[in-house]
Amino acid sequence: MDLTGMSEREYWANVAKRPGMFIGRTTLTGLEAYLDGYNHHSWRHGGPGLDGWREWLVARRGRDCNHGWHGQVRHLALPDGWDHWELPPDQEQHVIRVLFELLDEFLSDREAGARTA
């Protein structure tokens, strides 16, 4: 697997298949931290990072609030709300699955926009 030659979308699809290979114990907060680190590294080195990710999530949700992208993902995955940022295991696994689905859709939209620009 050549991670350096992959598109952003291909890279994150590989992370989604085997998140533990990238972050160790697979937790939502671990994945969020990994995404944040990836984003900041990309910005520091001239890449797009996750530019527009939060705004895309807000548009997808249809409304805004004061949460960053982490909360926006939870709102989309758990539309009836949640009791605490530390989720029960079943909810955490659901949010992780939705996070990767949303990220793939966002990156697909961004790739499509880049091809038409």
pLDDT > 90? residue 1: no
> 31 is in which domain, residue-wise?
3-116
Question: Looking at residue 117, what is its pLDDT?
Answer: 53
Let me know how long the chain is: 117
pLDDT > 60? residue 113: yes
pLDDT band for 82, please (50, 70, 90 cuts).
confident
Q: Which amino acid is at 104?
A: D
The mean predicted confidence, pLDDT, of the chain is: 92
What's the whole-number mean pLDDT along residues 73-83?
A: 93
Total domains in the fold of the chain = 1
* Contact between residue 53 and residue 42 where contact means Cβ atoms under 8 Å apart: no
DSSP output for 45-76: TT--TTTTHHHHHHHHHT---S--HHHHHHHH
